Every structure is written in structure tokens, then in C-alpha cells.
Amino acid sequence: MRILLAEDDALLGDGLRAGLRQRGFQVDWVRDGDAAARELRAQPYAAAVLDLGLPRMDGLAVLAAIRKARITTPVLVLTARDTVPERILGLNTGADDYVVKPVDLLELAARLRALVRRSHGRPDECLTAQDVVLDPASRTVRRADLPVVLSTREFDLLHAFMLGAGRVLSREQLEQQLYSWGQEVDSNAIEVHIHNLRRKLGSGLIQTVRGVGYMLLRDVPTP
């Protein structure tokens, strides 16, 4: 799951990025509001974490700008302003949730996952395709009611496929979901992860669409 982190404090930003990466997120980090607004317009992030006290353009101005541009990316606001009027202003400007500093990483990660589930119209329920069931909240997968162990990358790739079940996803789109800026991506990394998913979950789950990309089949193909 790829998210944008907008935080100008170098120590806090570095800690949040490292902590969220350990919890399975791919994190792109910017340090001012102009960069945050630009990246949210340009990239299809699953969610954004936005500090209100950003330089160049504060968090509320970023929120107002992206919502005016009809960008619906879920946004969680980080704020040291723990007052009801400030929280109401942020929510009314377009924030979907907020966390008050100092930040608890477990709470932040849980709230981000809940935001993404709600944004796809799936607040709590598991995702199902054929005999495979994925639980986003617990990050577990079962096939034919038996647990399947996936790596972090494999889980995130399967999650992206299941959210887009029935749609063709290009390799570039999948790489954007799995990797953040500056991370080296082997030319065949997506293919390797898909091979592993097919080995663990069955060869009929993910279909190759030659020259275009890959598609997860929600139902078992008829012969």
C-alpha cells in the first residue's frame, strides 16, 4: 500500500517513514505543502498523512486545493492542535481522520488501513476471490479455509489485485502500489511476486493479459 507522508520535521518524518515501512506501507515523504499538493495531483496514492503546520502551503490549504481539484485520496491529518475547533476545521476542509501528536505508530497504521478500506466501500469485511479470502485488518490470507503465509510484498500485491478484481493492471501500476521513491525495483520483481502468488494460491487466480498487464479473476474460469 503506497502512501504519501507530508511532514516538515526531519526527525519525526524519518521516524514515521521507517515505522510505517516496518508495518507494510510504501512511503513517499515530502517536507512542504507545495510538494504535497503536487504529488497528490500526480500520483495515485492509497492514502496521505498530512501535517497541518507545513511550510510554503499549510496543511489546510493543501486539503482545500486537492479537494477543489476533485482528488479523493483519503487524508489523515497530523496535528499538535488538540482543540475541537481545529479538528472540526480540518474535517470540514476535507480531512478523513486525524491523529494528535505525539504519534502512536500502531494507531496511525490502524487508522490508515481503516481509511483505505472505507474509501473502497469495504469498511471491515474481507475480500474474496475464488477460494481465497484476504482480511485487510489482520493482514491474513486463507485458501480453502486454510491459512496461507505471504511475504509483505506478496500480501500487498494480492490486496491491490483484489481491490481491482476484474480490471487489468499494468506492471507500472502494480509497482506504484508496492514501491516508494528511491527503492530499486528489479525488472522482473512483479513477475516473481505473481509467480509466488500463483504457486501458493493456484494458477487460475491471476491471469496474464499479454502486452497489457495482469488481472485477478473473481470467479473460477469456466472450461
Q: Which domain holds residue 113?
A: 2-119
pLDDT digits (tens, 9 = 90+) for 46-74: 899 999 889 999 989 999 999 999 998 99
Identify the three-state secondary structure at position 190.
helix
Note whether residue 223 is domain-resident.
Answer: no
**Cα separation of 33 and 5, whole Å?**
11
Strands 132-135 and 127-129: antiparallel
**Confidence grade of residue 83 (pLDDT, cut at 50, 70, 90):** low
Write down the pLDDT at residue 99: 85
Note whether residue 157 is domain-resident.
Answer: yes
First to last CA, the chain: 34
Task: Give the pLDDT mean for 210-218.
Answer: 92
Task: With a cut of 80, say whether residue 17 has pLDDT above it.
Answer: yes
200 and 103, same domain (yes or no): no
The greatest distance separating any two alpha carbons of the chain, rounded to the nearest whole angstrom, comes to 61
**Confidence grade of residue 154 (pLDDT, cut at 50, 70, 90):** very high
pLDDT digits (tens, 9 = 90+) for 93-148: 888 888 888 888 888 988 898 888 777 655 456 889 999 999 877 789 999 999 99
Structural domain count of the chain = 2
Write down the pLDDT at residue 15: 93
Write down which residue in 119, 138, 157 finishes a domain: 119
60 and 160, same domain (yes or no): no
76 and 10, same domain (yes or no): yes
Which among 61, 106, 59 is positioned nearest to 78, based on CA atoms? 59
Write down the pLDDT at residue 197: 95
Write down which residue in 119, 139, 161 finishes a domain: 119
φ, ψ of residue 193 in degrees (nearest 5): -65, -40
What whole-number percentage of the chain has pLDDT above 70? 91
* Single pTM value for the model: 0.62
CATH of the domain at 208: 1.10.10.10
pLDDT digits (tens, 9 = 90+) for 170-190: 888 888 777 765 566 677 889
141 within 8 A of 132, measured Cβ to Cβ: yes
CATH of the domain at 108: 3.40.50.2300
Residue 184 grid cell: 530499486
**Confidence grade of residue 84 (pLDDT, cut at 50, 70, 90):** low
Write down the pLDDT at residue 90: 78
Residue 217 grid cell: 479473476
134 and 181, same domain (yes or no): yes
102 and 148, same domain (yes or no): no
**Cα separation of 205 and 186, whole Å?**
24
Note whether residue 39 is domain-resident.
Answer: yes
Write down the pLDDT at residue 166: 87
**Cα separation of 43 and 80, whole Å?**
27
Please, where are the H alpha helices in the chain? 10-22, 33-42, 59-68, 84-93, 105-119, 152-163, 171-178, 189-201
Write down which residue in 101, 119, 137 finishes a domain: 119
45 and 135, same domain (yes or no): no
Write down the pLDDT at residue 80: 75
196 within 8 A of 154, measured Cβ to Cβ: yes
